[in-house]
Amino acid sequence: MGALRPLDRPTHLMDTDKVLVLNNSFEPLHVCSSRRAVILLFTGRAERVEDSPRILRSPSIVFVIPAVIRLHRYVKRPATPAISFNKKNILKRDAYTCQYCGRNGGEPMTIDHVVPRSLGGRTVWENVVSACRDCNLRKGSKPLHEASMTLLRRPSKPASVLYLGIMAHSPYRVMTWSKYLLREGRGELRGPHA
């Protein structure tokens, strides 16, 4: 590891960039930093499943940072608690991203009813999404087709707390990670455009 230094990017990004970690069974386990993932690869505890576009350079080595890795050892997972239905978890499920325009500028998100309450829409996982203030205002109390708006993905109840924890990390990884997340839970998980 001594020769490996991220010369083309600030070191702290190695700690903030996230990599999806799969169990030996290919089930998603958790998310770790790029730094941790590189250590797991170099120490032979994990294998590379998918690359990210990011590269780590040293004078002698060019190393592609992984997007997804898989542990060589099977890790028995603890039972996960039931998921609470609340705003915090809805935002986590949607990776803090407006489900209408895709905005993720760190601004406070609102919760929008896809089928408005005035039209009988219920307050359930399948009918609420994260929305930026602009989109929430634009949609108002209209159904989707009247507002000429579409959803990035169909809202559903997350299969587990584990899934929520993974999805909260990065909307930009959803496309790369979604096919692995399909293995988690009971088939309720969807990629953003599935």
Reduced to 3 states (helix: H, G, I; strand: E, B; else coil), residue 104 is coil
Smallest gap, in angstroms, from Cβ of residue 58 to Zn ion? Answer: 41
CB of 65 or CB of 135, closer to Zn ion: 135
* Angstrom distance (rounded) from CA 93 to CA 66: 23
Q: Is 129 in the site for Zn ion (CB under 5 A)?
A: no
CB of 77 or CB of 154, closer to Zn ion: 154
Residues paired with residue 128 on neighbouring β-strands, in sequence order: 113
In angstroms, how far is the first alpha carbon of the chain from the final one?
40
Q: Is 19 in the site for Zn ion (CB under 5 A)?
A: no
Structure tokens at 165: 């924890």
Q: Are strands 128-131 and 62-71 parallel, antiparallel or unpaired?
A: unpaired
Q: Which of residues 98-117 bind Zn ion (CB under 5 A)?
A: 98, 100-101, 103
CB of 100 or CB of 180, closer to Zn ion: 100
Q: Is 139 in the site for Zn ion (CB under 5 A)?
A: no
Measured CA to CA in angstroms, residue 62 lies from 7, 55, 72, 96 at distances of: 10, 7, 24, 33
Amino acid at site 4: L
Residue of 135, 149, 152, 189 interacting with Zn ion (CB under 5 A): 135
Q: Is 147 in the site for Zn ion (CB under 5 A)?
A: no
> How many chain residues touch Zn ion (CB under 5 A)?
6
Q: Interface residues with Zn ion (CB under 5 A)?
A: 98, 100-101, 103, 132, 135
